[in-house]
Amino acid sequence: MKKEQNLANKIIEISGKAPVTSPLSQEKLVSKVNSLTFNNYANSLSNPQNKVFNNEKGLTLNYKFVVDELVKIAGISSAEDFYTKIHTIITQNIDSNFMAVGMFKEKSNCINLKLRDKLGNFYSTKVFLKDTENPIVQVFKDKKIVFKDDTGFLKLSYFKNKTVAILPLVSVNKSIGVLIIEDNYARQNIGLYTLLANYTALVSHNFELMEKSEGYANTDNLTLLYNHRGFQEILSNEILRAETNKSKLSIVMLDINNITKINRELGHAKGDEVIKLVAEKVRQNIRENDTAGRYGGDEIGIILPNTSGEQAKYIAEYLTYSLSCCFIDDIGPVKVSVGISTYPDCSVDKEKLLILAEQAMYISQAKGYKDGMSAIISSADFNFWDDAALKSYAEVVGKRHAQLGINFEEELISKFNADHAMSGARISEIATSLAGAIDAKDPYTKGHSTSVSRFSEALARAINLPEDEVERIKLGALLHDVGKIGIPETVLKKEGPLSDDEWTIMKQHPTIGAEKVLNPNPSLRDLIPIVKYHHERIDGKGYPEGLKNGDIPLAAKIVAIADTYHALISDRPYRRGMDIEKALAILNEGAGSQWDKDLIRTFVQIAPALGTD
């Protein structure tokens, strides 16, 4: 019993009279409160009858009931929810008109006071510590309880001539805020309110420590902004809030230009200096509710809640202007590329918003500067299919998004098939851009599609096919690997041989390209035989249908040879590209079994003149 009594006293006295070496976790807090012997605990309070005075309504409340209520809320994980529950206990069970919690904010040297009345209305104000006449400040500094019979110091006309108890919130002998309770019998009930204040201080301190701990885990050491993980978590929460409130949200992505060159020529210390400067300027110039994070090595992302695309542009312009005024020795003014995407205008999906912001950032990088200022590009400003947009998308895919889900690729296909009456020139333009984006998924096949198209065109002309058929083969070869849009990156980029399961997945790409990408668009359906059958073999051992010589379309046979030849002479993760003689020797060995022998004979003759680029 004595041990439990001491434990109860420690919780009561934790405001400074009892030493505490470290804040308690919520689980330990629950355990300690649960371990109290309530009869002994009640006897230790100042009210000898164990009752709360509330004579106006003839109500009484046993202290044990209050403590039981505190035990129930000890596991709450949100500080806001905790204060709401404390308010409920006070205003409903004790019939108080209002309660206020004020937490000290060191940065602004003030106490942020939030008052809530019994109807649930909120009133907020700031009390600065320089206002030494204010009883809130006196209680905070002196760590002593003060009773006031007039609430004029709150500057709220609704609650005049009310008696309040102002109690310090003290944890580990340090004031962290104040608790204010309206009660005409505050002096008689001070034992209970002391418990509430000490309990609130203890839990508040733990919330603060948990927040700091999470902040350290989510903080980038160099810039002191959120790291990538922290940025993603904040963005997820803000998108949910925007969805609930039917509001807009914008993402601004900044990329520091020439950072690789700076690191290489001036050293990484100088590069870090630039990154830290940009981070500091961003921190200084964003609004209170905005969030900045180090999204990548030299990329800083900014989350702007309740902000349209146009408003985000204004903020980005101000940021870039501020940065352009900063000069660094040996470098000059700091220059960045800027991309913007907006929820829900551009997308409602978080990953797509980030991709579109990066894509816009790369377009900004490509456009350079005008009058010394960065080009600020929003994803709403450009045609997804123009050359700059597709090139930037390819860079995003190649650089960062190996984990891209099928949803974004579905959207890519949807855009591709949106126009069902494209002209020949438009088809060629879009096919070229799309092929570049597909090749970008694998850095080792960069330029593969355009090279296969060039080699196929040359072979088709060498055997004197009609011009319209040459153009069809040229275009089909450009899109021969379009089905890889549905193949996981882990399979496409694997170094070394594929497993049986991986190979099964890889062999699906001709069918995906034909049925999922080309078939929905009437303008492209005549390319299906080329895309679907370019991996068939003369001996019937190819895929996807195991066709033999006479059943394989001539155009597909041509593309198959061009595809294999470019693969042989290109570098791969597991080998260097072969010289032309060795590659042609391999083609000759497979003539008649894997490839058409007459086409091989012609291709061997023209290959040396085609080059390797």
What pLDDT does residue 362 have? 83
Is residue 239 very low, low, confident or very high in pLDDT (cuts 50, 70, 90)?
Answer: very high
**DSSP designation for 482:** G
Give the angle 479-611-591 at the CA atoms, nearest 5°.
Answer: 70
Cβ(362)–Cβ(266) below 8 Å = no
Report all structural domains of the chain as residue ranges with CATH numbers, in order of start.
2-217 (3.30.450.40), 219-382 (3.30.70.270), 403-613 (1.10.3210.10)
**DSSP designation for 4:** H
User: By percentage, how much of the chain surpasses pLDDT 90?
Assistant: 30
Higher pLDDT, 330 or 552: 552
d(CA 43, CA 34): 17
Cβ(597)–Cβ(543) below 8 Å = no
What pLDDT does residue 151 have? 85
Other Cβ atoms within 10 Å of 324 Cβ, number: 17
Is residue 600 very low, low, confident or very high in pLDDT (cuts 50, 70, 90)?
Answer: very high
What is this structure's pTM?
0.44
What pLDDT does residue 401 have? 45
Is residue 50 very low, low, confident or very high in pLDDT (cuts 50, 70, 90)?
Answer: very low
What pLDDT does residue 122 have? 81
Higher pLDDT, 15 or 241: 241
End-to-end CA distance of the chain: 87
Is residue 67 very low, low, confident or very high in pLDDT (cuts 50, 70, 90)?
Answer: confident
What pLDDT does residue 301 have? 94
Q: How many H-runs (helices) and E-runs (strands) does the chain carry?
A: 24, 15
Other Cβ atoms within 10 Å of 371 Cβ, number: 4
Stretch 230-241: mean pLDDT: 92
Flag the least confident range among 137-141, 343-347, 358-362, 489-493.
Answer: 489-493
Is residue 15 very low, low, confident or very high in pLDDT (cuts 50, 70, 90)?
Answer: very low
Flag the least confident range among 44-48, 255-259, 338-342, 345-349.
Answer: 44-48
Stretch 367-371: mean pLDDT: 66
Cβ(435)–Cβ(478) below 8 Å = yes
Is residue 591 very low, low, confident or very high in pLDDT (cuts 50, 70, 90)?
Answer: very high
Arithmetic mean of pLDDT over the chain? 78
Greatest Cα pair distance in the chain:
110
What pLDDT does residue 238 have? 94
Burial class (CB in 10 A: 0-12, 13-18, 19+), 296: middle
What pLDDT does residue 55 have? 46
> Closest Cα to residue 308, out of 217, 380, 231, 400?
380
Phi, psi of 203 (to 5 degrees): -70, -40
> Closest Cα to residue 532, out of 563, 511, 553, 507?
511
